[in-house]
Amino acid sequence: MIRRCLILPLRNGITVCRNNSTAVAEQAESTQESNTPAKNPLDHPDYFQVHNLFTVKDLFDARVHFGHKEGSLNEFMTPYIYGSRQGHLIFDLDITAEHLRKALNFTAHIAYRGGIVCFFNRNALNAHLVEKTALECGEYAHTRFWRGGIFTNADHQFGAITRLPDLCIFLNTQNNILNQHTAVRDSAKLLIPTIGIVDSNCNPNLITYPVPGNDDTPVAIELYCKLFKAAITRGKEARMKFLQENN
Amino acid sequence: MFLCYNKMSFAIKLTLKQALPIASRSSIILQNVYNYSSKATSQDNFYNNFTDWETLSKKKKVSKAMRAYLERAKEHDEFMKKQQFEYNIGKRHLANMMGEDPETFTQKDVDRAVEYLFPSGIYDRAARPLMKPPEEVFPARKAAEFDEAGWPHHFLFYTGKPNFFKLLYDITENIQDLYKYGDKVIRKKEVTDEKLLLNITGSVWLTKDQLEQLLVETVTDLEYDNFKLAMDRLVSLPHSHIYKDFIEKFRKPLATQRFALEIPKPSYDENGNAFVTTYECLRKKARGDVTIKSPGTGKITINGQDLTYFEDTQSREQVIFPLIFTGMQDKVDIVCNIEGGGPSGQSGAIRWGIAWGLRSFVDKDMLEAMQLAGLLTRDHRRRERKKPGQPGARKKPTWKRR
């Protein structure tokens, strides 16, 4: 816990609430039940065992805890902040881990039920990695300029009735440093659930499953990609098994 | 007969309506409308064999998107069948009208018959009556880009330009591969063979139109620039020869056939002397032909006279310039007939004719030099007409305030 000694409480009066972290407790609970999987996957708190995909140490090693500078903080991100070090915000990785596990669990369930997952990322540095992840797990990616109306006017844009994604995963939710990605708003309009890595300067309000964390560093993005890929793979494998047993 | 005509006009009216420019999409994606289940991309990925939950279950539920597509495809098919039927009937009527055999009546005959029976002086070709097979008139339809469960075939489908962005993806993938390869080479301290290095001089990147045709997608100027930038980056890497095949798919050879515009071989007269005649030497209103005879002594004959046919020195210089430039002034004889125009036009025409004919007697380097000197370039300028309200073509009256 040396790193915690280095991190000072936020200067400008931002209160930090750390009492909403239940990650450890939930993990313990799910390991107990993992021996006897429930009939209905939805009844199980962690049917696909996504909690064992990563540890808080992994997140720390991947620099997930680094936020932006204090001045750019979005006030809705305050509950996820642990403190500030030398003017840079630091995420509470316990909270992040909890949110990430929920997101991974949801992803695996969507994959299990045959949903379409679409990855988003507007950071050119990480775009290729995200597209590659999508290709590798047989899902979809959109890391390019967002032409307005791809979701809201899909029939016209694609020239036919089109099935839209069932889950949007935003590896960063910003279009640039100022604007939010339009797809976040459009997904909310169309009731498409979203998972978003929200940095300290992003607004988590429209994201169904916000995951507070660093959304710029390639190492962090690599970790997220690896985790989501693993979750999707688990979901699809379970589905394949189910189909083979039931057909 | 009336019935015939009625039928005909109906067929023609139908085709006329559609005769306006129809986006000529490429036929790559426009295969059979029933082709919806054939996957366009071949990703050898395990999970792509997955379809939707319901598809694999016994009930085999089809998605809304696919149902809509199937409906449209069926409708389109029925429509095309009807059109085909009407076209065939119309063709038979036309054959009967023209008194020919309907069985051997081809599309060429149809065009001829329509031109004969419905003469039209309308300027725009697209507005003239025509009768074409329905496949040519109605645009073919895109095959479905998704499977029965509504899963798109392409992983970048939602970008709207999957092929183009897949291309960018591939370029990046190759660049990253080359980075890794370069690191490996450095680690092993290997030396690359100079012969292997990629040489792309003599070819250029595909133009935007060609790229669009290749990808079957529209590409914006910005996207095209991005494509070129990425490709240049790939080519600039030290081991880019590994992806030679990939790079060359997007390059097109430069036109190197500058002099391939066949240079005539000299003919030989009864004495065994070579000669070349250039007809149609034109400049301004002058017109003539120039014969170059080799070997010769540098004798120049213009309309039966010598170089003094031209009174001013400028015109004389014009005529002998190509000879002096190539150093052939004592090696060939020139005979030319020229008419029309004035001394300037006539001498210019002869100059071009001599230079054009000398191509058969000089080597390649000299050809290049002549090209650069502008000797082989035709001068197409003509006299500009006088405009009303002013004294000349461009000259205006002197400006006075009042």
Cis amide linkage into residue B129, ω under 30° from 0: no
B143 vs B39: CA distance, rounded Å: 10
Q: Which residues of B touch A228 (CB under 8 A)?
A: none
Are residues B204 and B248 in contact, defined by beta-carbon separation less than 8 angstroms?
no
In chain B, ranges of CATH 3.30.230.10 domains: 267-373
Average pLDDT over residues B300-309: 90
Q: Which residues of A touch B43 (CB under 8 A)?
A: 135, 138
State how beta strands A88-91 and A81-85 pair. Answer: antiparallel
Tell whether B52 lies on the interface with A, counting CB pairs under 8 A.
Answer: yes
- In sequence order, what are the residues at sequence separation of 6 or more whose Cβ sits closer than 8 angstroms to the Cβ of residue B296? B331, B332, B333, B334
CA distances from A170 to A25, A117, A186, B324 (A): 27, 11, 13, 74
Contact A159 B68 (CB under 8 A): no
pLDDT value of residue B153: 86
pLDDT tier at B257, thresholds 50, 70, 90: low
What CATH fold (topology level) applies to the domain B267-373? Ribosomal Protein S5; domain 2 (3.30.230)
Contact A163 B58 (CB under 8 A): no
Domain A54-246 sits in CATH at: 3.40.50.10490
B248 vs B141: CA distance, rounded Å: 31
Q: Closest partner residue to A138 among B45, B156, B160, by Cβ? A: B45
pLDDT top residue among A243 and A202: A202
User: What token pair was written down for A81?
Assistant: 């902040």
Instruction: Express each pLDDT in B3-39 by its tens digit.
Output: 344 444 444 443 433 433 333 333 333 333 333 333 3
> 3-state class of A132 per DSSP?
helix
Average pLDDT over residues B70-95: 90
Contact B57 A246 (CB under 8 A): yes
Tell whether B278 lies on the interface with A, counting CB pairs under 8 A.
Answer: no
Q: Closest partner residue to B65 among A142, A162, A240, by Cβ? A: A162
pLDDT value of residue B35: 36
Q: Which residue, among B44, B45, B67, B158, would best test binding to A if mutated, counting the most A CBs under 10 Å from its CB?
A: B158
pLDDT value of residue A68: 95
pLDDT tier at B256, thresholds 50, 70, 90: low
- In sequence order, what are the residues at sequence separation of 6 or more whose Cβ sits closer than 8 angstroms to the Cβ of residue A47? A37, A38, A41, A105, A108, A109, A238
Among B62, B52, B163, B158, CA closest to A192:
B158
Tell whether B317 lies on the interface with A, counting CB pairs under 8 A.
Answer: no
How close, in Å, is residue A4 to chain B by CA atoms? 38
Contact A142 B156 (CB under 8 A): yes
Among B172, B151, B202, CA closest to A115:
B151
User: What token pair was written down for B221?
Assistant: 């100027």
Contact B160 A240 (CB under 8 A): no
User: What token pair was written down for B138?
Assistant: 């109605």
pLDDT value of residue B173: 96
Give the number of other Cβ atoms within 10 Å of residue B259's Cβ.
13
One-letter amino acid of B361: F
| Sheet of strand A66-69: strand arrangement | A66-69, A88-91, A81-85
Q: Which residue, among B155, B166, B220, B221, would best test binding to A if mutated, counting the most A CBs under 10 Å from its CB?
A: B155
Among B319, B286, B317, CA closest to B302:
B319
**Chain B residue at shortest CA distance from A157:** B160
Average pLDDT over residues A59-73: 95
Q: Which residues of B touch A136 (CB under 8 A)?
A: 45
Average pLDDT over residues A127-154: 94
pLDDT value of residue B159: 93
Q: With 0-12 CB in 10 A as exposed, 13-18 as middle and 19+ as buried, what is A111? A: buried
pLDDT value of residue B211: 93
Average pLDDT over residues A94-111: 95
Q: Which residues of A touch B52 (CB under 8 A)?
A: 114
- How much of chain B, in percent, has pLDDT values that exceed 70? 81
Which residue has 């999409």 as its token pair? B25
> 3-state class of B83 per DSSP?
helix
Contact B160 A139 (CB under 8 A): no
Question: Which H or E run includes A124?
Answer: helix A124-136
Q: Closest partner residue to B160 among A131, A157, A239, by Cβ? A: A157
pLDDT value of residue B385: 93
B379 vs B376: CA distance, rounded Å: 9
pLDDT value of residue B136: 82
**Chain A residue at shortest CA distance from B72:** A160
Q: Which residues of A touch B65 (CB under 8 A)?
A: 160-163
pLDDT of B97 over the 80 cut:
yes
Average pLDDT over residues A196-225: 95
Contact B68 A139 (CB under 8 A): no
Average pLDDT over residues A156-160: 84
pLDDT tier at B152, thresholds 50, 70, 90: confident
Boundaries of every domain in chain A: 54-246
Tell whether B218 lies on the interface with A, counting CB pairs under 8 A.
Answer: no
Contact B63 A132 (CB under 8 A): no
Instruction: Tell me which residues of chain A have a C-beta less than 8 Å from any C-beta of chain B.
Output: 113-114, 116, 118, 128, 131-132, 134-142, 144, 147, 150, 157-163, 165, 233, 236, 239-240, 243, 246-247
B14 vs B92: CA distance, rounded Å: 17
Instruction: Express each pLDDT in A5-47 by its tens digit.
Output: 445 555 454 444 444 444 444 444 444 444 555 468 888 889 9
CA distances from A179 to A4, A148, A174, A215, B36 (A): 32, 14, 6, 15, 39
A117 vs B60: CA distance, rounded Å: 22
Among A170, A159, A89, CA closest to B217:
A159
Q: Closest partner residue to A116 among B43, B151, B156, by Cβ? A: B151
User: What token pair was written down for B101?
Assistant: 């055999």
**A-to-B residue pairs, Cβ atoms closer than 8 angstroms:** 91
Contact B48 A116 (CB under 8 A): no
Q: With 0-12 CB in 10 A as exposed, 13-18 as middle and 19+ as buried, what is B311? A: exposed
Instruction: Express each pLDDT in B306-365 by its tens digit.
Output: 889 999 999 999 999 999 999 888 889 999 999 998 999 999 999 999 999 998 888 888
> 3-state class of B162 per DSSP?
helix
**Chain A residue at shortest CA distance from B51:** A114
- How much of chain A, in percent, has pLDDT values that exceed 70? 84
Tell whether B172 lies on the interface with A, counting CB pairs under 8 A.
Answer: yes
Among B322, B341, B333, B334, CA closest to B282:
B341
pLDDT of A3 over the 60 cut:
no
Q: Closest partner residue to A247 among B58, B142, B159, by Cβ? A: B58
Judged by average pLDDT, the poorest of A111-120, A136-145, A209-218, B33-42 is B33-42
Identify the bridge partners of residue A168 per DSSP, sorted by sequence position.
Answer: A118, A194
Among A35, A44, A48, A46, CA closest to A237:
A48
Judged by average pLDDT, the poorest of B2-6, B164-168, B371-375 is B2-6
**Chain A residue at shortest CA distance from B149:** A163
Average pLDDT over residues B120-139: 85
Q: Which residues of A touch B142 (CB under 8 A)?
A: 159
Are residues A232 and A108 in contact, defined by beta-carbon separation less than 8 angstroms?
yes
CA B26-B29-B33 angle, 5° bins: 115
**Chain A residue at shortest CA distance from B64:** A161
User: What token pair was written down for B353?
Assistant: 């004719």
How close, in Å, is residue B261 to chain A by CA atoms? 47
Average pLDDT over residues A67-90: 94
Tell whether B57 lies on the interface with A, counting CB pairs under 8 A.
Answer: yes
User: What token pair was written down for A222?
Assistant: 């690599």
CA A41-A45-A48 angle, 5° bins: 60
User: What token pair was written down for A32?
Assistant: 């107990």
How close, in Å, is residue B79 to chain A by CA atoms? 19
Among B269, B276, B320, CA closest to B299:
B320
pLDDT top residue among B280 and A159: B280
pLDDT of B1 over the 50 cut:
no
C-alpha B243: how far from chain center? 28
Q: Three-state SS string across A9-51, please? A: CCCCCCCCCCCCCCHHHHHHHHHHHCCCCCCCHHHCCCCCCHH
Burial B57-75 (b: 16+ CB within 10 A, else e): eeeeebbebbeebbeebee
One-letter amino acid of A107: T
Average pLDDT over residues A211-237: 95
How close, in Å, is residue A89 to chain B by CA atoms? 33
Instruction: Express each pLDDT in B196-226 by its tens digit.
Output: 778 888 789 999 999 998 888 899 999 999 9
pLDDT value of residue B329: 86
